[in-house]
Amino acid sequence: MTTATPTHFTAVPLDKAYRLLNHGPTVLVSSAHMGVSNVMAAAWSMPLDFDPPKLTVVIDKSTLTRELVEGSGQFALNIPSRALAAQTLAVGTDSARVVPDKLKKHGITTFAARQIVAPLVLGCVGWLECRVVPEPHNQQTYDLFIGEVAAAWADARVFHEGRWQFDQAPDDLRTLHYVAGGQFYVIGESLLVG
Amino acid sequence: MTTATPTHFTAVPLDKAYRLLNHGPTVLVSSAHMGVSNVMAAAWSMPLDFDPPKLTVVIDKSTLTRELVEGSGQFALNIPSRALAAQTLAVGTDSARVVPDKLKKHGITTFAARQIVAPLVLGCVGWLECRVVPEPHNQQTYDLFIGEVAAAWADARVFHEGRWQFDQAPDDLRTLHYVAGGQFYVIGESLLVG
């Protein structure tokens, strides 16, 4: 973990935090507990409430991330862009249980969050620092976690005035939307209706 | 409701149904109960399990859809494409409580589902027929519904061999990803990693 923060790192007002996830990007879940940290990919997350902002994410029982999230009661959702596609696939494929140095192996660099112990992933374009809203039945039965957003951040080149602005930024900053088998779609053009 | 089914209407194997939602499209929630049916837009949905496939969707207490879903125990998620952007915004803006003929007003045509009473929306590119997995605490506290997928369908021009194939189809068939204020992003290019 570096103490640096990324360039263009800008606070997102909490009442606009849901917009980071509203268009359905694939995310990286970062977590830390008792000196151990990890990052995994997740395609299954969504906003759950506006203000205070809440979100959901599915975290399988087999993962180290699950243990760290349940231990610490915290996690972050990091929104990777096209430039991080290979690393997103890699940390979604390798398990830290099998490849303990997977972050180093795949060149994932992290930096300190402000409200939680879980680190944030450098090179992403959005970040949501979350505290778990304990729902043991959902967690046990569905692997479903609810987080309340304590802080939200974005890369100001691509998210400003409370919304994504992909069309005015380099294509490498567009979000990733996973399908299967190593295939992503990159988010495309803006369409204003009405 | 017409008895016709759309052209290119093809069954999606249940173990591939999650892939219809995996890349985070905005959906239309259709429902019916006691002779009343409705369609509303929802940006907050995600896959929850592979097989049997389950998914989640947020349905606000103020909506007619909420009453129909709780009454019938069923709903469908319909995945609109770019060609339906104006209608998607319209049925997400107008409430059937205020505009009782909103489907007719906005030119929404439906056809019969196979496993549930809720109709399906013509012009969409994917359809997930769902039965509610009752979770009263989630429904009451978070407006969060869990559905088990009973049948899944897609437009074969754009979803075949178990995955989306947007790059070989007309751009009007690409999925919509809502931001806010009438702004969508259309899903973009495919990126194969590894």
Comparing CB atoms, the residue among B85, B88, B166 nearest residue A185 is B166
What are the tokens at A70?
A: 């349940």
Interchain contact, A23 vs B137, CB within 8 Å: no
Give the C-alpha separation, B57 to B77, whole Å: 9
Q: Quick one: average pLDDT of B31-44?
A: 97
Taking alpha carbons only, the member of B130, B123, B119 closest to residue B175 is: B123
Predicted local confidence at residue A1, as pLDDT: 62
A166 contacts: CB under 8 Å, gap ≥ 6? A158, A173, A174, A175, A187, A190, B185
Q: Quick one: average pLDDT of A1-5?
A: 68
Q: Is residue A168 within 8 angstroms of chain B, CB to CB? A: no
Residue A1 falls within a domain, yes or no? no
B97/B152: higher pLDDT: B152
Q: Is residue B56 within 8 angstroms of chain A, CB to CB? A: yes
- Name chain B contacts of A89, Cβ cutoff 8 Å: 193-194
Which CATH number does the domain housing residue B73 bear? 2.30.110.10
Question: A40 has which bridge partners?
Answer: A29
Residue A17 falls within a domain, yes or no? yes
DSSP B32-87: EETTEEEEEEES-EEEEEETTEEEEEE--TTSHHHHHHHHHSEEEEEE-BGGGHHH
A177 neighbors A185 (Cβ within 8 angstroms) = yes
Interchain contact, A188 vs B174, CB within 8 Å: yes
Predicted local confidence at residue B1, as pLDDT: 62
Residue B133 falls within a domain, yes or no? yes
Task: Identify the residue whose tokens are 């569905």.
Answer: A142
A42 neighbors A93 (Cβ within 8 angstroms) = no
- Percentage of residues in chain B with pLDDT exceeding 70? 98
What are the tokens at A74?
A: 């915290």
Residue A193 falls within a domain, yes or no? no
A73 neighbors A131 (Cβ within 8 angstroms) = yes
Residue B35 falls within a domain, yes or no? yes
What average pLDDT does the structure give for chain B?
A: 96
Best of A21, A44, A84 to disrupt the B interface (most B CBs within 10 Å) is A44
Domain total for chain A? Answer: 1
- Percentage of residues in chain A with pLDDT exceeding 90? 91
> A165: exposed, middle or buried (C-beta count within 10 Å: 0-12, 13-18, 19+)?
middle
Interchain contact, A19 vs B43, CB within 8 Å: no
Which structural domain range is residue B27 located in? Answer: 9-186
Tell me: pLDDT of A2 over 80: no
Least confident of A89-93, A122-126, B188-192: A89-93
Tell me: pLDDT of B5 over 90: no
Q: Is residue B146 within 8 angstroms of chain A, CB to CB? A: yes
Residue A136 falls within a domain, yes or no? yes
Model confidence at B147, in pLDDT bands (50, 70, 90)?
A: very high
Residue B193 falls within a domain, yes or no? no
Predicted local confidence at residue B194, as pLDDT: 82
Q: Which residue of B has its CA nearest to A162?
A: B180
Interchain contact, B86 vs A166, CB within 8 Å: no
Comparing CB atoms, the residue among B24, B86, B137 nearest residue A177 is B24
- Percentage of residues in chain A with pLDDT exceeding 70? 98
A103-113 residue pLDDT tens: 999 999 999 99
- Give ipTM to 2 decimals: 0.96
Best of B27, B51, B185, B190 to disrupt the A interface (most A CBs within 10 Å) is B185
B154-170 residue pLDDT tens: 999 999 999 999 999 99
A20-79 residue pLDDT tens: 999 999 999 999 999 999 999 999 999 999 989 999 999 999 999 999 999 999 999 999
- Give the number of beta-carbon pairs within 8 Å between A and B: 160
Predicted local confidence at residue B89, as pLDDT: 96
Is the pTM of the predicted complex or chain greater than 0.90? yes
Predicted local confidence at residue A5, as pLDDT: 80
B71-93 residue pLDDT tens: 999 999 999 999 999 999 999 89
Interchain contact, A43 vs B22, CB within 8 Å: yes
Predicted local confidence at residue B52, as pLDDT: 94
Residue A191 falls within a domain, yes or no? no
What are the tokens at A104?
A: 């180093």
Q: Which residue of A has its CA nearest to B143?
A: A48
Comparing CB atoms, the residue among B58, B135, B187 nearest residue A177 is B187
A11 neighbors A126 (Cβ within 8 angstroms) = no
Predicted local confidence at residue A160, as pLDDT: 95
